[in-house]
Amino acid sequence: MNIILVSDRLANPKTVALGTRQLSLLLAAWLITPVILAAALFYLALHHAADIDSPYIKSLVLSAQQDQLEKGHAYLQTNLSTMAVRVGQMQAQVLRLEALGDRLANMAGISKQEFQFDKPPARGGAVSSIPSRDLKRSELEKMIGDLSHQLDNQGDQLSVMEAVLMQKSLSKAALPTSRPVETGWYSSNFGWRVDPFTGKNAFHEGVDFMSEVGTPIYAAAGGVVTHAGPSTGYGNLVEIDHGNGLVTRYGHISKVLTKEGDVVLRGQEIAEVGNTGRSTGPHLHFEVRYNGVPQNPARYLGMNG
């Protein structure tokens, strides 16, 4: 592009040649200049609005400030709502841990006065010489996140402890430590003795409780009835499987009050004392077997109390 300059001062016209690059620069300058001027005017209007006595300018400034305040308030409200949700979740976790702690204390036999889960721990200390400071939002969010993670871990750990204590409690409940009859005394102990029928030395696989016919017989522990009825030598027999290889037998009974497959609890009446089978008089023959091997019932009954 050629531009011809004509002037009274010039003897001859002067020609200026502009290439593509020069034209592009001129066009860019022509477009950017109004934008720069508008930005400068807006900057001056905002920072010197107090000195400009113009209702229109002041309304523009107030509108811009109000818009910024609303955006800041919306951002703050969003953050507060997010933190409120997380705090609500942690409150629910704390309530669950309190209830779980109470259950564990009861299962472990710990007094509630020793661990007051419904009260905050007592804390204190002297004023530090190090000056305190306000928490940053990022620090507070990190603390909330760490605390939530810690509550989750502690909840999982307490749940495992509850399962272990429950297992121990169930195992203890399955031990035949409760007397099968409330009255009566040992008329024959566990071990070698003279057989009352043959007069020979024979091994007695249980203990005998001498009681009147009709005396209630109770389950020594909870379990499942695996036999309820006649059995060779025992007369009428009730057998209960307590799990983990433990079985109890109740022989020579007169009346069976349960049937095979029944689930019985410790202390539940299951039969009545009798004189059936290989017996010289009314009594209860009581056995404890572990994996099929006879055990001395007196050792288990001695655990009670």
The predicted-structure confidence for 222-236, as pLDDT tens digits, reads as follows: 999 999 999 999 999
pTM: 0.51
Ordered alpha helix ranges (H), the chain: 20-47, 55-108, 137-173, 297-301
Q: What was the pLDDT predicted at 28? A: 73
Q: What is the pLDDT of residues 39-93, one digit of tens each?
A: 776 666 666 555 555 666 567 667 767 777 777 777 777 776 777 677 777 777 7
